[in-house]
Each structure stands twice: as C-alpha cells, then as structure tokens.
Structure 1
Amino acid sequence: MTGKLIAVANMKGGVGKTTTVVMLAEALAADGARVLVADLDPQASVSVCLAGETILSEMIAKGRTLEAYLALKLLKEEKPLLAPRIRADVSLTTHQNAPLAVSLLPAGPYLRLVERELIYELTHKRFSMHAIENQLWKVFQDEFVPLGQDYDYILFDCAPGISPMTEIAVRGSDLVLVTSIADHLSTWGLDAFIQTVWGQASKRASRIAPRRLPHVLVTRFQQSVRQQQQTVARLEAEAAAPDAGFRLLATRIPQAAALADALTPHEAPPTFSGKYGIHVTSVLIPLVAEVKEVLHGA
C-alpha cells in the first residue's frame, strides 16, 4: 500500500503547525508506522526540533536540504537525487526500547530565496504561472509521491502563507490539516486560507484541485476560556453545514507546558510516554485514530 501524504498548513504563523507535525509524526511512528517529515518552511523549525542544531548545520553545509535539491533540479537543470538528502531515524525519542522510525528531509534558511529565484528564472524564460506550477507539480509527482513506497506517512511542515512548495504540497496531499487556535484572529485567517486554496477563485487560478476538503485541528485549546469554547462551537456548526468548506477534527490540542517542553532538547533520549505523559492517551492516540479514519476509513 502506498504511503499517505499529509500537509500541515495555515497562512497564519504561530498556530502550532510545527508542534503538531512533531507530535503526529512521533505518534504515528509509535503506532508502528514508518514516517518521513519534509520541512517546507525556511525557518526550519521542525528540522531543528527533530535533528538538532548540530546535525542540521552539517546537512545544510553538505547541501543535504530541500532547497539545495530544488536549486540543482530546477535552476541548474541537473539530475540530483532526493533520497541522499533524507536523514533516517532522526528522532531521539524511543518507544518499546527502540528509536522511533521518523526520517527527515530538512529545510535551510535559503529555501524562500530558491523558491523566489525559481519564479524569477522561469518567468524570465517566458514561463507562465501555470507552467511554473506544472514544473513544481512534476517534481512533486516524480520525487515525493514515490517516497510513499518507503514510508507509510509523509508529513509536510508547510511555511506560513502560500509559498510555491507549500501550495503544491497542499494541493497534492491526501490530507491537509489546518491548525488553528480558537480565537478571533486565527479563525478569521483560517477562512482566508481556505478560500485561497479551496474557493472558486482558486479553481480559476490553478489547474490542480486539492483532493478533499481541509480538516481543521484546534490547537492551544483552553477549555476554561469561554471565548475559545464559543469559537469551537461556531466551528462545529460551520463544519456541519451542507456547504461547509472544511471538516473539524474532534481532537483538541491543549495549551499545555508539557507539549511545549516536548519540542525542547533533552539531556537524555526520552521515551515516547515520558515525553508526552498524559497527552498520549488524551490527545495523541485519538489524533492518530482520527487521521487514520480520514485516510483509510478505519
């Protein structure tokens, strides 16, 4: 069975995308899956969280990053290999006395510059925006999709906003998780993001239609805050409407110090249960079950 592609995205930053990617990747791996995390964000937050600064710096120096691959492939028109840029068993977290099977395709600080240069270069060659999109789509189909033979799940940590690679990943993934805090500003931006990719204007601007409606995952949820309760109730009503533009996952990622600490370096390799504590049963297991239900119907 071919592995499933999951994009975690939102136009707004600071809504728990990277936290969600790390937690979900490790939770899926603890459930027995082989997981690849592809970092599409020039801030490289998920790369730092998984590989650490030392390993990431070495990979950047050796050109073992996504932007180095894209520059060789699309700007210099060479034939680089993607696989050597993937770091296997990057997670230090263990489960049942073995490291979690999480691999990483890292990003570096020049990814945004490479994406911008790609647009400039191809535009200079009189490529239309549709032609540029087709170039990136071909790379995605030829290089990323076949990785599903080696991994059960490929998670894309997307950059805030709509970068070229983020848009391709969102349109090409089997599932798009849109992380959002249950407050006014975050959910206002949520509507803008959904209209940009899934709305009628998007259908006219791009020839590549997303595979299904996005699934919203509420993050940093505080049950005791009345405004957040009201916002979640509104999201539930909107998701249940016949013309809904999104689905809403039942799992809520709580505002918890333990989850924030899970992303910080540890002096000794942590166990999966020790790292996430009570959130394993209250958050991560339900989240994995929901994701698998959407993707596999089981």
Structure 2
Amino acid sequence: MGRVVAVTNLKGGIGKTTTVVNLSAGLALKGARVLLVDVDAQGNLAMALGIRPRRTLYEVLVDGAQPADCLTNARPNLDLLAADESLLMAQPALAQRPNWPRVLEQTLKPLHANYDFTIIDCGGSLTVLNINALNAATDVLVPTTVEPFSLKGLTLLLNQLMRIKGSNNSLCAIVPTLYDPRTRQSVALLDDLRSQYGALVTEPIRVNVRLSEASALGRSIYEFDPRSRGAADYARLVEHLSSRWGFQARLRPTPAAPPASMSDPSPNGPPVTPPPPAARPEPSVPPVVTGAGSMLSLSCPNCGGPLQRATVAGYRVAYCDHCRYRRQELVSGPRR
C-alpha cells in the first residue's frame, strides 16, 4: 500500500491546491505513480492541471461507479479523480450512511496497489468529505501562510486532527507558503512557527507570481517556468518529502549492450556484426524542457549516439532517443 497524503487546512487561500499540483507533479517526474483525489466541490484541481475530466468522484460515491473507471490521466505517472459542484449533493447522502467517516477510505482501497502516493486535496472547512480524507490518510500535510490568522487556524486544525484520529502522529509536515523574506512579520512568524513545531516545518515556499500564473494556465510550475523561485522551492519540498518518505527516484533501467559480434550460421562463415537494434520511440519528456532539448557534444555511453539535454523539476537530465539511456543530476545556478 502506498502512502495516502491529505493536504488540508481549515483556512482557504493558503496554497493548498498549488501545493498539491506541484508536489504531485514533482513526485511524478521522479518516477512515482501518483493519484490525485479532489474532495473539494470547487473542483480547482482539474482546472489547475488544465484538464476537463468526463467523470468525477460523485459518480463513485453516490452512483456506485468503479473508481478506476472514473480516473483521468493528467500527466505521465499522474492520474486524477476529479470533483465538481455535484460533490455538494454527495455529502448529505454520505452523512446518512452508518460508516460515513470511512466511505472514502473504502472507496480508494482498491486503487492503493497501483500508486506510490495518493494525494487528497481537501477543502477549506471541516466537511464530511474532509473528515473522510483525514480518516483515510496515513500522512497529513498542512500548508499555511505565514500570517497571524493562518497560524491560529493551524492550532484549530491540529485540535481537530487529534479529535478525529486520536493523535497528531500522522502530521508529516507543515509547509509555510506565500513567504516574503523582505517583511519583518514574515520572518518573525516563521521563527515562531519553527520554535513551536520544530522539524515538522519545512523550508518555506516564497511569494512568486509565476505560481499563480502557472495555475491560471493549467500547468505545473515545472512546465511553466522551471527556473523560477517557485519551481526551486517546490522541487526542494519534493526532495525533502521524498527523503522523509523513503522514496527513491525511478530511472528507466539501462538496457544491456548487444554483443559486439556473433557467429555466422555457416560454420565457415566469418563473424558478422549484428545490425543495431531498431530505434524504439522514447516517451516524450514531460513539457518541462528548457533549451529546446539542445544537443550536447557528449555521446551516449551505450550506443554512441548524441545525448539531448532537458531541465526537469530541478534536475538536469541527459537522455538518448535511440537506446533510452538516461542520466540526471541536480541543477545549480541562478534563480529568479
């Protein structure tokens, strides 16, 4: 079973959906299989990913549709179980069921084996579905702006988490968002947050207009502007949580090199060199490419063909279109 991560806060406008999109996109780019579940009737998750799903969570919860039949593929390694305003009508129906706090958990259980991470985007209040999301979660991730009212709401959320789950052990991280290091208040409140919650507080996500621009266009920040501060901050968050959760990036295994020669079927025939293997189409690198995949002077160590270069979610990736060789390393350099 993969991890089930509820991304929640009882206050709206603090970057929950932005965090869900860019965290999940970063994990998917590292090779993780990620399922996104939207339990907010506003349906912002599909909009932020730039997709229009045909089927939604309502059909699963109320109409009894199979969850796997209602998924929408959003990106490579990234699927979405979307929501829309119809979800408002699902909550009264769920509240009548005897097992109502666990309906979502039971609904998602058949999908767990197919994904490394199931990330649930919760709404900004303690609704029936948000309670379901917390009960289903193995980990709770809390984005919060570095503002007085948001920090007060964080205390309320942790009290509710204690009431619903019996402890706060599932709280895996508090992510400060919309952080402006130029203001004294932001710096002071971040220090207070760290003194109160210690290692649970991650490095902050700084204010960056490119994040809101990316969401408006239905793209992750890695696709929209992978050299921005927002991309750097979310790539750092992906690395931090990947390490915390013990997930290692999955690179496609390097194919074995073909033998240099093989014997001719005729016993007296000279050895012949086999023809090179037919080129197999490489799945396109996600559209997080800078430099238009410009050619490098380096050659592929497997087949000798030219390597191409791309920048993907904070990594510099060298890859070969012929034999599927791939190598990656962290990018360092100036950020906007």
Q: What TM-score does the superposition give when structure 2 sets the normalisation length?
A: 0.67
Structure 1 unaligned residues grouped into runs of 5+: 74-79, 92-99, 123-130, 241-246
What letter is aligned with 1:104?
A: L
Contact 1:259 1:276 in 2 (8 A): no
1:188-225 CA-partner distances (Å, limit 9, x unpaired): 11111111122xxx1xxx47666523521100110111
1:139-288, aligned counterparts within 5 Å? Answer: 139-198=103-162, 202=163, 206=164, 212-240=170-198, 248-265=200-217, 272=222, 274-279=224-229, 282-288=232-238
Contact 1:181 1:219 in 2 (8 A): yes
Higher relative contact order (CA 8 A, sep 6+): 1
User: Which residue in the other structure is 1:39 paired with?
Assistant: 38
Distance 1:271 1:111 in 2: 28
Distance 1:233 1:180 in 2: 14
What letter is aligned with 1:46?
A: L
What letter is aligned with 1:255?
A: V
Structure 2 counterpart SS, 1:176: strand
What letter is aligned with 2:85?
A: P
Contact 1:253 1:283 in 2 (8 A): yes
- Given the alignment of the two structures, is residue 83 of structure 1 paired with residue 33 of structure 2, yes or no? no
Percent of aligned positions that are identical? 25
- State the 1:25 CA deviation: 1.0
Q: In 2 relative to 1, CA 282–275 (structure 1 residues): closer, same or farther, beyond 3 Å?
A: closer
Aligned residues: 248
User: Which residue in the other structure is 1:103 paired with?
Assistant: 79
Distance 1:271 1:179 in 2: 17
Q: In 2 relative to 1, CA 190–157 (structure 1 residues): closer, same or farther, beyond 3 Å?
A: same
Distance 1:288 1:111 in 2: 30
Q: Where is the helix percentage greater, Structure 1 or Structure 2?
A: 1
Structure 1 counterpart SS, 2:85: coil
1:97-136, aligned counterparts within 5 Å? Answer: 100-119=76-95, 121-122=96-97, 131=98, 134-136=99-101
User: Which residue in the other structure is 2:276 paired with?
Assistant: none
What letter is aligned with 2:205?
A: I
- State the 1:281 CA deviation: 6.5
Q: What TM-score does the superposition give when structure 1 sets the normalisation length?
A: 0.76
1:255-297 CA-partner distances (Å, limit 9, x unpaired): 101111111227xx88936533234763123211221233238
Contact 1:30 1:272 in 2 (8 A): no
Structure 2 unaligned residues grouped into runs of 5+: 249-336
CA RMSD of aligned residues (A): 2.4
Distance 1:207 1:217 in 2: 21
Q: In 2 relative to 1, CA 282–48 (structure 1 residues): closer, same or farther, beyond 3 Å?
A: closer
